[in-house]
A and B are shown apart, each in its own frame.
Chain A
Amino acid sequence: MELMSRQETWNITYTHALGETASWFYTQIRDNAKIHGRRCAKTGRVLVPPRSFSDQTLQPTTEWVEVGPGGRIETFTIVYEQFQNLPDPPYAFGYVLLDGADTALGGYFKGVDLTDPAKAAAKLKIGTRIVTKFAEKRTGDVLDFWYEIA
């Protein structure tokens, strides 16, 4: 017998409130091109991206700490496959431990030729020093900054 199918698309728009902590973080990125973390008073850990509370103590974080712009690559990947509603490949992104932070912050790696996967991966290996770069026109978002090899 003929087996039939129907196509359905979900297209839903959300307007997410970012809350006080992320709003301040993004304002600093937009207005001053600076990245900040939040310090946990009990453990001293500087959490980046900043959170309003520590996952280890459930206590509020108490202090803003400027981090970066230098840092080291903690992990990366280079995407060569196209996925629906995600950027056109290839692109490299991963996590960087910014100077002064205790946890790593995600972002794109730019300025690396991704044509040859093995050569590109060697340039992005763990421990490589990077510097954070900021867009000239900033909106207050993660995509306002990216990492380049120092």
Chain B
Amino acid sequence: MTSERVGIIGIGQSAFTARRDDASYPDLVREAVVIAMNDAGLELDDIQAVVYSLSPDAMVGIGNAERSGVDAVGARNKRFLRINTGGATGISSVAAAYYHVASGACDVVLTAGADKVGECGDSQTVLNKIWDPTYERQLPLGTINMLGMSAIRYMDFYGMTEEDMARVTVKNRRQAALNPNAHLRRIVSIDDVLASRYIAWPVKLMDCCPQSSGGGAMVLASERFIRERKLDAVWITGLAHCSESYWLGDRMGKNPEADHADAFALGRSLQRAYKMAGITDPGSQVHVAELYAPFSNTEYHSIDAAGFCKRGESIAMLREGQFELGGRLPVNPSGGTLCTNAIAVTAMIRVAEVALQVWGRAGGHQVKGARVGIASGNGGDHQFFGAMVVEA
């Protein structure tokens, strides 16, 4: 890697809600871009490339919606690239922006996107289409039941209960209540979660993320540009991706390398990112984590994968309050994906939130003294995992 660092100099995000009837899809993209550009203090002409963050088209209901977004990101006469790695799209987009700068090709890159999942009649109907039409589409697979099946194995291996799952929702909702940009901000109790209806056993309604609408944008720049312009920045010091193979049924059975209970490739991406950042003991060196977890149960295997504990120990540690805002190592202080999921930008918001934390700009959900943070994104059915280390 080059000695030149890549910095984050601007962040923009919507106040996420179910619907935004006041704004078209490009309006939402532009909303986040304007906030990020103002945050960076730059003009549109300063941007040399745009990485467009857009997951499955059918979620916004516009084929190749990056076409209609091209004006909203001011991409006229600029390099332009669309990224789609499902739920990991946002962090993959930040990574692609990073590589534009790290390669020396560009000094300043914008990454942006938006989603309007709330306009989609049924996101599970769209997500069912990510399964292959040969063997698996005939089954009613979707992301909820796919991760419900992960929960079943996690329960069997490590003893997670439905109450343990509820505890994640309770924690994240309490934190989302402090974040004005979060979608679900109502504080709930364990009993509320347990009393909510079953969607796909053992996942109940309040174990699930919402279908959110809103935009996200970030501006990345080279260290040289940041110093020349005397800009304020935080730094991406480690990043990596890792994939798992396609078939859900291969992550079980006889000695699978990557079990469906866990997030094996997320662990690999984080290990690679830690190595790049020089982190050897994440449990003591990381101060805050924004881990992509759209269902309560998946926060546990994500914490395990982050190396904060041995597999399954996250259950007891969360019960002890270690991952709460104010605890030893806050996880998802923004409320996380469980409280806000505008899929195309969700994993970008993980990076943005952790950047705000180490910058000391997270407001009501600030983790005191945070200087080193990690973010992650998960896409597909365990196919695409991405991770980043962000430092002040």
* Interface contact A18-B253, CB-CB below 8 Å: no
Bound Cα distance from A114 to B332, whole angstroms: 35
Asked if A48 is an interface residue, CB under 8 A from chain B, the answer is yes
Bound Cα distance from A91 to B121, whole angstroms: 22
Query: What are the residues of chain A within 8 A of B200 when measuring CB–CB?
Result: 77-81
> A-facing mask of B236-256, CB < 8 A → 1, else 0?
000000000111111011101
* Interface contact B139-A97, CB-CB below 8 Å: no
* Interface contact A80-B125, CB-CB below 8 Å: no
Known: A77-B200, A79-B199, A80-B199. A142 touches B122 (CB 8 A): no
Bound Cα distance from A105 to B136, whole angstroms: 9
Distance of B315 from chain A, by nearest CB (Å): 18
Query: What are the residues of chain B within 8 A of A18 when measuring CB–CB?
Result: 134
* Interface contact B198-A80, CB-CB below 8 Å: yes
Counting chain A CB atoms within 10 Å of each CB, which of B122, B135, B144, B197 scores highest? B135
Known: A77-B149, A107-B139. A10 touches B201 (CB 8 A): no
> A-facing mask of B141-179, CB < 8 A → 1, else 0?
110110011101100100000000000000000000000
> B-facing mask of A48-70, CB < 8 A → 1, else 0?
11000001100000000000000
Of B125, B156, B197, B253, which one neighbours A84 at CB under 8 angstroms?
B125
Determine the interface band of chain A, counting residues with CB < 8 A from chain B.
35 or more
* Interface contact A86-B140, CB-CB below 8 Å: yes
Distance of A108 from chain B, by nearest CB (Å): 7
Distance of A87 from chain B, by nearest CB (Å): 5
Q: B203: nearest residue on chain A (CB-CB)?
A: A77
Query: What are the residues of chain A within 8 A of B122 when measuring CB–CB?
Result: 83-85
* Interface contact B201-A101, CB-CB below 8 Å: no
Asked if B321 is an interface residue, CB under 8 A from chain A, the answer is no
> A-facing mask of B96-138, CB < 8 A → 1, else 0?
0000000000000000000000000110110010000111101
* Interface contact A117-B198, CB-CB below 8 Å: yes
In B180-207, the 8 Å CB interface with A consists of 197-203
Asked if A125 is an interface residue, CB under 8 A from chain B, the answer is yes
* Interface contact A77-B135, CB-CB below 8 Å: no
Q: A94: nearest residue on chain B (CB-CB)?
A: B149
Counting chain B CB atoms within 10 Å of each CB, which of A78, A85, A95 scores highest? A95
Of A77, A91, A105, A125, which one neighbours B249 at CB under 8 angstroms?
A105
Bound Cα distance from A96 to B140, whole angstroms: 16
Asked if A150 is an interface residue, CB under 8 A from chain B, the answer is no
Bound Cα distance from A18 to B249, whole angstroms: 19
Counting chain B CB atoms within 10 Å of each CB, which of A81, A85, A101 scores highest? A81
Query: What are the residues of chain B within 8 A of A93 when measuring CB–CB?
Result: 139-140, 145
Known: A3-B21, A49-B135, A104-B249. A125 touches B198 (CB 8 A): no
* Interface contact A125-B156, CB-CB below 8 Å: yes
Of A80, A83, A141, which one neighbours B138 at CB under 8 angstroms?
A141
Of B133, B201, B253, which one neighbours A80 at CB under 8 angstroms?
B201
* Interface contact B124-A97, CB-CB below 8 Å: no
* Interface contact B250-A55, CB-CB below 8 Å: yes
Asked if B281 is an interface residue, CB under 8 A from chain A, the answer is no
> B-facing mask of A88-115, CB < 8 A → 1, else 0?
0001011101000111111110000000
* Interface contact A104-B156, CB-CB below 8 Å: no
Bound Cα distance from A143 to B138, whole angstroms: 7
Query: What are the residues of chain A within 8 A of B61 when measuring CB–CB?
Result: 8, 10
Asked if B58 is an interface residue, CB under 8 A from chain A, the answer is yes
Of B124, B128, B145, B253, which one neighbours A104 at CB under 8 angstroms?
B253
* Interface contact A142-B253, CB-CB below 8 Å: no
* Interface contact A16-B140, CB-CB below 8 Å: no
Distance of B126 from chain A, by nearest CB (Å): 9
Counting chain A CB atoms within 10 Å of each CB, which of B124, B140, B197 scores highest? B140
Q: A22: nearest residue on chain B (CB-CB)?
A: B134
Query: What are the residues of chain A within 8 A of B134 when measuring CB–CB?
Result: 16, 18-19, 22, 49
Q: A142: nearest residue on chain B (CB-CB)?
A: B138
Q: B119: nearest residue on chain A (CB-CB)?
A: A5
Counting chain A CB atoms within 10 Å of each CB, which of B128, B152, B248 scores highest? B152
List the interface of chain A (C-beta within 8 A of B). 3, 5, 8, 10, 14, 16, 18-19, 22, 47-49, 55-56, 74-81, 83-87, 91, 93-95, 97, 101-108, 117, 120-121, 125-126, 141-143
Given contacts A79-B140, A80-B199, A80-B200, 9 further A-B contacts (CB under 8 A): A49-B247, A78-B198, A85-B128, A103-B249, A104-B252, A107-B139, A108-B139, A142-B135, A142-B139
List the interface of chain B (C-beta within 8 A of A). 21-22, 58, 61, 121-122, 124-125, 128, 133-136, 138-142, 144-145, 148-150, 152-153, 156, 197-203, 245-250, 252-254, 256, 260
11 residue pairs bridging A and B, Cβ less than 8 Å apart: A14-B133, A22-B134, A48-B249, A49-B247, A55-B247, A75-B149, A77-B200, A83-B142, A85-B122, A104-B252, A120-B201
